[in-house]
Amino acid sequence: MKEKMVTLVINGKEVTVPEGTTILEAARQAGIYIPTLCHDPELSPWGGCRLCIVEVRGWKELPAACITPVRHGMVVETESPAVRHARYTLIELLLANHPEDCLTCERTGSCVLQDLAYRYGVRRTRFEGEKRNYPIEDSNPFIVRDMNKCILCGLCVRVCNEIMGKAVIDFAYRGVRTKITPPFELPLEKAGCVFCGNCVAVCPVGALFPKPMWGQGRHWEVKKVKTVCPYCGTGCSFYLVVKDERVIGVQSCPDAPVNGRWLCIKGRFGFGFIHHRDRLKMPLIRDPFLFAKVTWPTSLKLVARRLTEIKEKYGPDAIGVLASARITNEEAYLLNKFARAVLGTNNIDHCARLCHAPTLVALREAFGSGAATNQLAEIAEADFILVIGSNTTETHPVAAIQIQKALRRGAVLAVIDPRRTEIASRAHYHLQLRPGTDIALLNAIAHVCLQENLWNQEFVIYRTENFAAFREAAMQYPPSLAAAITGVPEELIIEVARHYARAKNAVIIYTMGITQHTCGTNNVYAIANLALLCGHVGRRGSGVLPLRGQNNVQGACDMGALPDYLPGYQAVTDPSVRAKFAAAWGVEIPDHPGLTATEMFEAAAEGRIKALYIVGENPMVTKADTSLVKKALENLEFLVVQDIFLTETARFAHVVLPAASFAEKDGTFTNTERRIQRVRRAINPVGEAKPDWEIVTLLAREMGHPWNYSSPAAIMEEIAQLTPIYGGVSYERLEAEPEGIFWPCPHPEHPGTPILHQENFTRGKGRFHPVHFAPPDEQPDKDYPFLLITGRYLTHYHSGTMTRRTPLGFYQETLLEMNPEDMAELGIKPRDRVLISSRHGSMKIDTTPNSNLPRGVVFATFHDADNPINLLVGHRCDPRAKTPAFKGVAVRIEKAVR
Ligand SMILES: Nc1nc2c(c(=O)[nH]1)N[C@H]1C(S)=C(S)[C@@H](COP(=O)(O)OP(=O)(O)OC[C@H]3O[C@@H](n4cnc5c(=O)[nH]c(N)nc54)[C@H](O)[C@@H]3O)O[C@H]1N2
Ligand SMILES: Nc1nc2c(c(=O)[nH]1)N[C@H]1C(S)=C(S)[C@@H](COP(=O)(O)OP(=O)(O)OC[C@H]3O[C@@H](n4cnc5c(=O)[nH]c(N)nc54)[C@H](O)[C@@H]3O)O[C@H]1N2
Ligand code: SF4
Ligand code: SF4
Ligand code: FES
Ligand SMILES: [Mo]
């Protein structure tokens, strides 16, 4: 359908725009400025401040341009004497009850009110307004609210409500007493605020301000460096604000491609770790009980000598490398090269093993690529969204904003999760299944699609294979059976199936609730089957999004930090691939896949692995079966840990190497959309820390390999030569294309691929994999009657090395969340200490009630490094992906003394 166009004249210029465009939008498209205060293109229009008034020939009133649609033949003046006069008066009125210092205030350096006063020549106000005298609200560590400077534009109210799906703040009182506040004047921290700071990001004046930067630096004294968030895989970018070699804050960067101005608490306020006094500033060696500070040459010589000795004595496969999903692509690439070319082993892996390894196996076999199929922004375009095992608002908060946008557009949301998470509470359908029963549920959804003939026959015929086998399997799961297995009412299953199948565009979002089970790989197959059956893949707005966890876990996989793949998912078992890398690197590549991270620890505990080089991971806290990890680390003849802090793991090391943090280096991260983005150095490394790429290069040289990379850009050149999916990536291009590059991007002229599998699947045809439900191997019984789910909180990140070290008050201890009725039955009161035991270990922990948990299910995070929950998680894992079953551990709970 062609849009109807309308032509009008603005300031004598003819402008043609689609019908329904506002005068403001039409003017902006024509490059004509109209001032605004309460308008924001991403928020619903309000028309409250009236600063955007214009004159329309023949109209008696001056209409507000931001809410007035254009009409054919309209003649508009944006700066006529009448308009200027009215604006002058409006600004005077605003200043009338504004603090006296307004025109000289330097709080933000970009105050829209002040700019307007100067623009329209308002020097003082003729009106004697009632000055407000509110106390400054700053009882929380993140946001300062100075309501004396508020102009009541309501932008913060709309952001909180429309973008965040919260309604923490609103207008209260009337007349001159009108004020924006949480209900009952509660402080933000008591009103459900999640401290995303997105209200601060839109405040046009200095009323809302980030507390870390309060009084820290005037705007001309600071430099701003655009970079990418070091936490989750959403890949938000922002400015690091730097003064005198210190990062003092984070500011939204409106042209950030993934997130625009929106961030979550970790991105906006989680930078305090950068300058924390605990940062490693010198290499350390064990001496024999304490760590001694040494120089770089001493530490590197020792590492090179010991690794060489162990390699000579036991062979290269006695050494393992744990790479990191926190470091840059260039650094992960070098670690892959270090393991294979310098050490001579494929024993390299990283935390993707604990995370989306089942996705790498199953989506690869189903679609041909183990990565997300579409962009995050497309979530907002879907009509139906199925979220499975993802606590999206806490773990990918800015991706959750896209879900919120879709909901505002009228999309239908269904969430499959045993817990009533926040995203589940926003959903039209919450399928609160028993942990570990997803396959029965997903097969039943497929059953309904087949039974009711809702499936996409054309797609299945032309684009898929192995349908008959899948059909036969799925037909064994009528909703009544699935209801009995999962505990989800039959009607819910049927309705969700109908919605998914009938949607024009539908996306499935899934994460750890799917992968961290002994049936993780089969769970992912079940998701892929459903997408194939309904043809919801390979189109804009339709796809499967396994949201990747860490900032650069996608990149670490892409760069070959995996035991079976060289960079770009080129199999080590393929002789032609090995020949290519052998020619480029000048060494033979070992031909057998290496050990996974899971297997490396088992091997170390058994004495088959003698040395580990661990970069940017903290397995003592994050790996399953802490007792086994401890035994493995103690057993090693040599352990090198390279981190930014002396972690629980580093305490076992013989040598600790101090790495530079994300703020201190150049490079690239690849986010969950496969978008490659530039990370930029904002400050020099603290102390004598060095970027990981420099450390690995020095180590390789020390071990006799003449590496001489001068910069991350030079490393990327080598990556592009050897990795077809990154073939067109270069730093010049990344500077010229600030939105980033989506792989696959095989050559410099290629535009990149935001949407996968459009004409063909990467593997040709999409393949169905019939899967069956089997009761989880670990069942609750009389001795272990509860099921423990482990996971995350919004404000903490993994082992907490960074989030526990912001001076901003992030820290919370880990609590065991229980259904209040279960607590009552056991006679446990809130904050009572309990002994929790699994078949694998036990520990003491405090309890807290949470009625969003079903009975029989308990929840705890693994963020508390002092009391690691992984003591309870055994080493049961998915047989193919080797991902541990972090979800669904049978436990017993007994009251304990403190
Ligand atoms: N704040 C914060 N954000 C993070 C991280 C962090 O540590 N902190 N870590 C990042 C990383 S690496 C990752 S991988 C992601 C993880 O992100 P998520 O996967 O969203 O986080 P989890 O808390 O591990 O678990 C997700 C959900 O799975 C549900 N679940 C448990 N068992 C089952 C089941 O059997 N079936 C279903 N359908 N659901 C189940 C849980 O109730 C939980 O709500 O988060 C990333 N983002
Ligand atoms: N019980 C339970 N356990 C889990 C999970 C669960 O759901 N439940 N989830 C699992 C998942 S999905 C994941 S991804 C893992 C995460 O497991 P890990 O990756 O081990 O967790 P992190 O705490 O993020 O460790 C990253 C380390 O890198 C360091 N670091 C940060 N930046 C840099 C840098 O630039 N250079 C270097 N050299 N180091 C740096 C940090 O200080 C930190 O010590 O945890 C897993 N463990
Ligand atoms: S910080 Fe976020 S949640 Fe809190 S009031 Fe502002 S927009 Fe709302
Ligand atoms: S959503 Fe993820 S990438 Fe974005 S600011 Fe938060 S932690 Fe950083
Ligand atoms: S910007 Fe149009 S009324 Fe406020
Ligand atoms: Mo993860």
Q: Could you tell me the distance, in angstroms and rounded to a whole number, from the CA of residue 355 to the centre of ligand 6?
A: 4
Whether residue 425 contacts residue 415, with contact meaning beta carbons closer than 8 Å, is answered with no
Q: Write the residue with the smallest CA distance to atom 17 of ligand 2.
A: 622
Whether residue 262 contacts residue 235, with contact meaning beta carbons closer than 8 Å, is answered with no
Distance CA 378, CA 382 (A): 7
DSSP 216: T
Whether residue 268 contacts residue 250, with contact meaning beta carbons closer than 8 Å, is answered with yes
pLDDT at 304 over 80: yes
Q: Could you tell me the distance, in angstroms and rounded to a whole number, from the CA of residue 726 to the centre of ligand 6?
A: 23
pLDDT at 102 over 90: no
Number of residues assigned to the chain: 898
- Computed over every residue of the chain, the mean pLDDT equals 96
At 118, is the secondary structure helix, strand, or coil?
Answer: helix
The pLDDT value given to residue 1: 57
Range of lowest pLDDT (492-501, 630-639, 649-658, 810-819): 810-819
Q: Is residue 51 in contact with ligand 5, taking CB distance under 6 Å? A: yes
Q: Could you tell me the distance, in angstroms and rounded to a whole number, from the CA of residue 844 to the centre of ligand 1?
A: 23
| Segment holding 640, helix H or strand E | strand 638-643
Q: Could you tell me the distance, in angstroms and rounded to a whole number, from the CA of residue 176 to the centre of ligand 5?
A: 20
Q: Is residue 258 in contact with ligand 4, taking CB distance under 6 Å? A: no
Q: Could you tell me the distance, in angstroms and rounded to a whole number, from the CA of residue 213 to the centre of ligand 5?
A: 29
The residue with tokens 């009850």 is 97
| Segment holding 766, helix H or strand E | strand 766-767
Ligand nearest the Cα atom of residue 399: 4
DSSP 347: -
Give the residue-averaged pLDDT of 502-530.
98
CA distances, 866 to each of 408, 800, 870 (Å)? 42, 10, 11
Give the residue-averaged pLDDT of 20-49.
96
Residue 551 identity (one-letter amino acid): N
Ligand nearest the Cα atom of residue 551: 4
The pLDDT value given to residue 387: 98
The pLDDT value given to residue 176: 81
- Angle 315-317-322 from CA coordinates, rounded to 5°: 135
Per residue in 561-611, pLDDT (tens digit) is 999 999 999 999 999 999 999 999 999 999 999 999 999 999 999 999 999
Candidate from 548, 617, 625, 796 with most ligand 2 atoms within 8 A of CB, to mutate:
617
Whether residue 288 contacts residue 655, with contact meaning beta carbons closer than 8 Å, is answered with no
| Segment holding 300, helix H or strand E | helix 296-314
Candidate from 622, 858, 861 with most ligand 2 atoms within 8 A of CB, to mutate:
622
Whether residue 828 contacts residue 756, with contact meaning beta carbons closer than 8 Å, is answered with no
Distance CA 281, CA 277 (A): 9
At 891, is the secondary structure helix, strand, or coil?
Answer: strand
Smallest CA-to-CA distance from 325 within 515, 556, 618, 512 is with 556
Radius of gyration of the chain (CA): 29
Q: Is residue 886 in contact with ligand 2, taking CB distance under 6 Å? A: yes
Q: Could you tell me the distance, in angstroms and rounded to a whole number, from the CA of residue 724 to the centre of ligand 6?
A: 26
Torsion of CA 183, 184, 188, 190, to 10 degrees: -100
Ligand 1 pocket, CB under 6 A: 232, 355, 388-391, 394-396, 416-419, 421, 435-436, 438, 511-513, 549-550, 789, 791-792, 794, 796-798, 887-888
Can you tell me which atom of ligand 1 is nearest the CA of 351?
A: 12
Distance CA 605, CA 625 (A): 12
Candidate from 281, 351, 620 with most ligand 2 atoms within 8 A of CB, to mutate:
351
Could you tell me which residues are beta bridge partners of residue 690? 659
Per residue in 392-420, pLDDT (tens digit) is 999 999 999 999 999 999 999 999 999 99
Please report which residue ranges of 128-179 form alpha helices under DSSP H: 155-158
Q: Could you tell me the distance, in angstroms and rounded to a whole number, from the CA of residue 356 to the centre of ligand 6?
A: 7
The residue with tokens 């352990």 is 639
The pLDDT value given to residue 605: 97
Please report which residue ranges of 262-295 form alpha helices under DSSP H: 265-269
Give the residue-averaged pLDDT of 757-785.
95
- Which tokens go with 513? 């609730």
Considering only the top CATH level, what class is 786-895? mainly beta
Q: Write the residue with the smallest CA distance to atom 4 of ligand 3.
A: 193
Q: Could you tell me the distance, in angstroms and rounded to a whole number, from the CA of residue 651 to the centre of ligand 1?
A: 28
The pLDDT value given to residue 128: 75
Q: Could you tell me the distance, in angstroms and rounded to a whole number, from the CA of residue 741 to the centre of ligand 3?
A: 31
CATH 3.40.50.720 holds for 357-542: no
pLDDT at 105 over 90: no
Candidate from 40, 137, 142, 169 with most ligand 3 atoms within 8 A of CB, to mutate:
169
The pLDDT value given to residue 785: 97
Q: Write the residue with the smallest CA distance to atom 8 of ligand 4.
A: 267
Residues sharing a CB contact under 8 Å with residue 811, sequence separation 6 or more, in sequence order: 800, 804
Distance CA 238, CA 224 (A): 9
For residue 206, how many C-alpha atoms fall within 13 Å in the half-sphere facing its CB?
Answer: 22
Residue 141 identity (one-letter amino acid): P
Ligand nearest the Cα atom of residue 231: 4
Q: Could you tell me the distance, in angstroms and rounded to a whole number, from the CA of residue 501 to the centre of ligand 3?
A: 36
Whether residue 557 contacts residue 360, with contact meaning beta carbons closer than 8 Å, is answered with yes
- Which tokens go with 877? 């894992």
Ligand nearest the Cα atom of residue 402: 4
Considering only the top CATH level, what class is 284-352+552-664+696-726? alpha beta
Ligand nearest the Cα atom of residue 799: 2
Per residue in 854-863, pLDDT (tens digit) is 999 999 999 9
Can you tell me which atom of ligand 1 is nearest the CA of 435?
A: 35
Whether residue 65 contacts residue 22, with contact meaning beta carbons closer than 8 Å, is answered with yes
Torsion of CA 131, 133, 134, 135, to 10 degrees: 150
Q: Write the residue with the smallest CA distance to atom 8 of ligand 3.
A: 160
Per residue in 838-849, pLDDT (tens digit) is 999 999 999 999
Where b means 16+ CB within 10 Å and e means fewer, 317-340 reads bbbbbbbbbbbbbbbbbbbbbbbb
Give the residue-averaged pLDDT of 541-552.
98
pLDDT at 205 over 90: yes
| Segment holding 15, helix H or strand E | strand 13-18
Could you tell me which residues are beta bridge partners of residue 430? 415
Give yes or no on whether 5-79 and 786-895 have one common fold.
Answer: no
| Segment holding 376, helix H or strand E | none
Q: Could you tell me the distance, in angstroms and rounded to a whole number, from the CA of residue 624 to the centre of ligand 6?
A: 13
DSSP 637: S
Q: How does DSSP assign 552-611, residue by residue?
A: THHHHHHTT-SSSEETTTEETT-HHHHHHHHHHHTSPPP-S----HHHHHHHHHHTS--E
Distance CA 204, CA 397 (A): 24
pLDDT at 814 over 90: no
Residue 171 identity (one-letter amino acid): F
Whether residue 545 contacts residue 406, with contact meaning beta carbons closer than 8 Å, is answered with no
Q: How does DSSP assign 646-679, residue by residue?
A: --TTGGG-SEEEEBP-GGG--EEEE-TTSEEEEE
Ligand nearest the Cα atom of residue 395: 1
The pLDDT value given to residue 621: 97
Q: Is residue 801 in contact with ligand 2, taking CB distance under 6 Å? A: yes
Domain ranges of the chain: 5-79, 284-352+552-664+696-726, 357-542, 786-895
Please report which residue ranges of 368-506 form alpha helices under DSSP H: 392-395, 397-409, 422-426, 438-451, 457-463, 467-474, 479-486, 490-502
Candidate from 229, 554, 679 with most ligand 4 atoms within 8 A of CB, to mutate:
229
CATH 3.10.20.740 holds for 5-79: yes
Whether residue 835 contacts residue 844, with contact meaning beta carbons closer than 8 Å, is answered with yes
Candidate from 228, 234, 393, 673 with most ligand 4 atoms within 8 A of CB, to mutate:
234
Ligand nearest the Cα atom of residue 550: 1
Whether residue 43 contacts residue 34, with contact meaning beta carbons closer than 8 Å, is answered with no
pLDDT over 90 percentage in the chain: 92
Q: Is residue 264 in contact with ligand 4, taking CB distance under 6 Å? A: yes
Smallest CA-to-CA distance from 397 within 225, 500, 258 is with 258
Ligand nearest the Cα atom of residue 513: 1
Q: Could you tell me the distance, in angstroms and rounded to a whole number, from the CA of residue 729 to the centre of ligand 2?
A: 27
Give the residue-averaged pLDDT of 456-468.
98
Q: Could you tell me the distance, in angstroms and rounded to a whole number, from the CA of residue 259 to the centre of ligand 5?
A: 24
Tell the burial category of 583 from Cβ atoms under 10 Å away from its Cβ (0-12, 13-18, 19+): exposed
Confidence of residue 81 (pLDDT cuts 50, 70, 90): very high
pLDDT at 48 over 70: yes
Q: What residues have a C-beta under 5 A from ligand 6, the ion?
A: 355, 549
- Which tokens go with 849? 């009630």
Q: Could you tell me the distance, in angstroms and rounded to a whole number, from the CA of residue 50 to the centre of ligand 5?
A: 5
The residue with tokens 């430099």 is 223
Smallest CA-to-CA distance from 76 within 61, 105, 54 is with 54
The pLDDT value given to residue 566: 98
For residue 731, how many C-alpha atoms fall within 13 Å in the half-sphere facing its CB?
Answer: 15
Q: Could you tell me the distance, in angstroms and rounded to a whole number, from the CA of residue 138 to the centre of ligand 2?
A: 32
The residue with tokens 């670490």 is 556
| Segment holding 201, helix H or strand E | helix 198-202
pLDDT at 185 over 70: yes
